[in-house]
Amino acid sequence: MTAKEVCEALNISRQTLYAYVSRGKVRASAQKSDARKSLYHTHDVDALIANKKRGRSRRAIAKSTQNFGEPVLKSEISHIDQGKLYYKGQDAIKLSQTKTFEDIAKLLINVDLEPDVDQKFDLIKGRNSFERMFAATAEITISKNTPPNKNTNSFIIKRLLAAICNTNTLSDEPIHMQLAKYFSDSIDFIDVTRRCLVLCADHELNPSAYTARIAASTDARTPACILAALSTFSGTKHGSMTSMARWWVGRATMKDDHQEAAFIKTIKSPPGFGHPIYAQTDPRTQELLKHFEIPEGWERISRHVSKTYKIYPNLDFSLAAMEKSFKLRPKTGQTLFAFGRLLGWIAHAEEQRKNGALIRPRSWN
């Protein structure tokens, strides 16, 4: 929305609008056609209108906890401001240009992931890498042999890495290189994997991170918090959206011009497009798509969807495009997403545990 449209919708002055922006109530992004002008997030404006209408009764607040509303929890792990993602106050996009998974582990959870080529792991059964990651997390959760204290997080990360790569030993190479070599023979995929892991590390209080915090608030062990988060992540509205995006965009590219337009209009929220947090394109998507060749027809579909629905590609789109471009096995994008996000889940669990508060909402009827 333009400034004029926002002011008319909220019946406020330009000065009040700017005050809302400075306090984070309304997000602003520069217009692509004119960087001197701003557009304002429609979702934020709608939320302010809804707040005014419903007041602040307990029932109204409870109802607002769903769909990108409250609760709002204080966190120092990551935040999104003016369409940019930050980890511990550092620009995540800039971090992804040079940093590794190990660097972000040090930043978010203060863990040094030193190589340990002598450590042995049991092989995990599973049809694909994501299933093996899931199974390994469940195994650690019920095991009594997890190392205590600061070694726990390092052990969990290495155990899941071994499960994903279907091996019982790890090399002394950087983690992104081990993953890239397992999934692809392409040298170009090595750096793309590094960038992918960094960009996926955390994203405010997304559903899986919030689930990890709920588990941690009950004093559940870290592996149990990760298992809870991973279960949430597996849903089709979260991590599994990557596979859905690959299928849907792939289908769309197979249509002729007339069929393509009709196909796109059959669904208002195509998988891989739109994100309520961002007024325009997900910055993680923009950055990742710069570093590999977008599959034939995918850019055309992206433009068509954006023109039809005014929604833009999100992280699921870029991960699905990555899978297609490098001819990767199914679930690879979802697995890399989850493994990168592992750092965020651990960080949120630890932060909530230090907070000491039990997360226990009330219901209403």
Average pLDDT (348-360) is 93
Phi, psi of 84 (to 5 degrees): -120, 145
Instruction: Pick the closest to residue 140 from 118, 161, 156, 163 (CA basis).
Output: 156
Residue 34 has pLDDT above 80, yes or no: no
Q: Which residues of 286-302 are buried (b: 16+ CB within 10 A; e: fewer)?
A: ebbbebbebbebbeebb
Instruction: Pick the closest to residue 45 from 77, 10, 16 (CA basis).
Output: 10
For residue 58, name the pLDDT band (cuts at 50, 70, 90). low
Q: Which of 57-61, 133-137, 356-360 has the highest mean pLDDT?
A: 133-137
Greater model confidence, 275 or 23: 275
| Four-CA torsion 185, 188, 190, 192, nearest 10 degrees | -130
For residue 49, name the pLDDT band (cuts at 50, 70, 90). confident
The domain locations on the chain are 3-81, 88-365
pLDDT tens profile 122-172: 999 888 999 999 999 999 999 877 776 658 899 999 999 999 999 999 999
pLDDT tens profile 288-343: 999 999 999 999 999 999 988 888 999 999 999 999 999 999 999 999 999 999 99
Q: CB within 8 A of 275, min separation 6: which ones?
A: 282, 312, 314, 315
pTM over cut 0.75: yes
Which architecture, in CATH terms, is 88-365? Orthogonal Bundle (1.10)
Residue 185 has pLDDT above 70, yes or no: yes
Q: What angle do CA 52, 56, 60 make, to 5 degrees?
A: 95
Residue 214 has pLDDT above 90, yes or no: yes
Phi-psi region of 72 (alpha: psi -120 to 50; beta: other; left: phi over 0): beta
Identity of the residue numbered 37: K
Which burial class, exposed, middle or buried, applies to 336 when counting CB atoms under 10 A from its CB (0-12, 13-18, 19+)? Answer: buried
Q: Which residues pair with 28 in a beta bridge?
A: 40
The answer to whether residues 223 and 163 touch, using CB atoms and an 8 Å cutoff, is no
